[in-house]
Amino acid sequence: MDSLFDFLLLIFTDYTLRTVTLGAMILGLVSGLLGSFAVLRKQSLLGDAMSHAALPGVVIAFILTGSKAPLVLMLGALAAGWLGALLVQLVVDQTRIPQDSVLGIVLAVFFGVGLVLLTWVQRQGSANQSGLDTFLFGRAAALVMRDVWAMAGVGGAGLLLVGLFWKEFKLLSFDPDFAATLGFPVGLLNVLLTTLIVVAVVVGLQTVGVVLMSAMIVAPAAGARQWTDRLDRMVLLAALFGALAGMSGALISSLSRGLPTGPMVVLCASLLVGISLLFAPNRGLVGAWLRQQRNHRQLRRSAVLEALYGLALSHGDATHAHQLGAVRAAIPGVDVRRTLAALESDGLARGHGGDLWGLTPAGAEEAQRELHRFERHGLDELPTRPSSYPFSAEIDPAEVVK
């Protein structure tokens, strides 16, 4: 690999790399887009259950037809995944077992049956069947253009349905009861949306495998949710994240022989989620932490300013200096020294040496403004101050500051 350019050129010239990259991108795009609805409906685990449930479908489809054509195996996966989803719904409706338990049970039962059938088929020993086990962990390198076309076809049908029923799916995800009162067949729409999630799972099976596929349903959507508060943008962003994860995963895995594509794609998607969780502007943890620090700093400054002011008022001079200890006693639990240093550098407070601190005239005005601000909002509504707070209302602050 001489340069990045040569490497990128490979995507267009190298058949395998191109196929794998394209396949991984389609998989990411479809699962990101459809997974958004699963995540918003708090059905993240459904993807996990459906992908595991798809395994016996793949094997049975092979046993019945003897064919390994991607479309045949996908249809098998689709049927089994769908059956699993239906079973989950049935058990949830008819019993008192909570949904997450049912999902766990269905996942285990279907996956177990799938593994048994898979082992059995492999014992039969016809050369044709080697390769079914790629569905376990996925083997993107084995993708051919035919697979990519099948993925694009199945995925495209899913996207078309989301486009058609956008309004209905939105309402169903937000407020299903209300949708029912308006006359929308909520049960049917539920089945349709679940089917689409199964479709997303099926699209990714060959590349990522049943075990990791659920991550592709959840990760792009969870990441996208961090960046926007609009459903359409979230869904598009999730599709973009998915495609990006697919592309970068495929490219990274092509760099070295030991890097399997499916897991790389999932890792890339997880990385995107990590970045989103940390750095998204409104919901990101870093932003929230910074905002919190800023608020605390601001509150500390106000507290110290007002404490100094209150202490000074009883001497009839707003800039009268006091011992650090007196300020600390007035507002316990506040890091007074550090805040005073910050106030001093802003020219609002001044150290007179020997732990004596007082306000500057500018600081006194600032403190007055703060107090007025609270008065406007009504002092009653403020949380009660510590009783040691020495604010004396008898003295008119205006006279003191002159």
Partner 1 sequence: MKKQANGSLPIHIEDLTVAYREEPVLWDVDLDVPDGTLMAIVGPNGAGKSTLIKTILDLIQPAAGQVRIYDRPYSEQRSLVAYLPQRGSVDWDFPTNGLDVVMMGRYGHLGWLKRPGPTERRLALEALTKVGMQEYAARQISQLSGGQQQRVFLARALVQDAQIYLMDEPFQGVDATTEKAIITVLRELRAAGRTVVVVHHNLETVPEYFDHVLLLNVRVIAVGPVAEIFTPANLRRAYGGHVEFLLAKAEEPNPLPVQERTNGQSV
Footprint of partner 1 on this chain (CB under 8 A)?
40, 42, 164-168, 170-171, 173-175, 177-184, 225, 228-231, 233-234
Instruction: Give SS3 for 359.
Output: strand
Nearer to partner 1, 110 or 241 (CB): 241
Report, in Å, the least distance between residue 378 CB and partner 1: 15
| Token couple for 141 | 């390198």
Task: Kindly state the smallest distance separating residue 87's Cβ from partner 1, in Å.
Answer: 22
| Helix (H) or strand (E) run with residue 357 in it | strand 356-359
Given the complex with partner 1, which of 9 and 285 has the nearer CB atom?
285
DSSP letter at 141 equals G
Residue 326, both tokens: 């007196």
CA distance 126 to 93: 43
The pair phi, psi for residue 358, each rounded to 5°, is -145, 170
Measured on CA atoms in the order 35, 38, 40, 42, is the torsion positive or negative?
negative
| Residue number, 32 or 70, with CB nearest to partner 1 | 32
Contact 204, 31 (CB under 8 A): yes
Nearer to partner 1, 149 or 184 (CB): 184
Closest distance to partner 1 from the beta carbon of 99 (Å): 16
Min. distance of Cβ 167 from partner 1 in angstroms? 6
Question: Which whole-number Å values give the CA distances from 75 to 80, 155, 156, in the listed order?
Answer: 9, 13, 15
> For partner 1, which is the closer residue by CB, 281 or 386?
281
The minimum distance between CB 107 and partner 1, in angstroms, equals 25
Of the candidates 320, 295, 298, which has an alpha carbon nearest to the alpha carbon of residue 392?
A: 320
C-beta closer to partner 1: residue 42 or 372: 42
Determine contact, residues 58/239, Cβ cutoff 8 Å.
no
Q: Which residues are paired to 249 by β-bridges?
A: none
Write phi, then psi, for 66 (nearest 5 degrees).
70, 10
- Taking the complex as a whole, the smallest distance from the CB of residue 245 to partner 1 amounts, in Å, to 20
Question: Are the C-beta atoms of 209 and 137 separated by less than 8 Å?
Answer: yes
Tell me whether residue 82 or residue 169 sits nearer to partner 1 (CB atom): 169
- Min separation Cβ 174 and partner 1, Å: 5
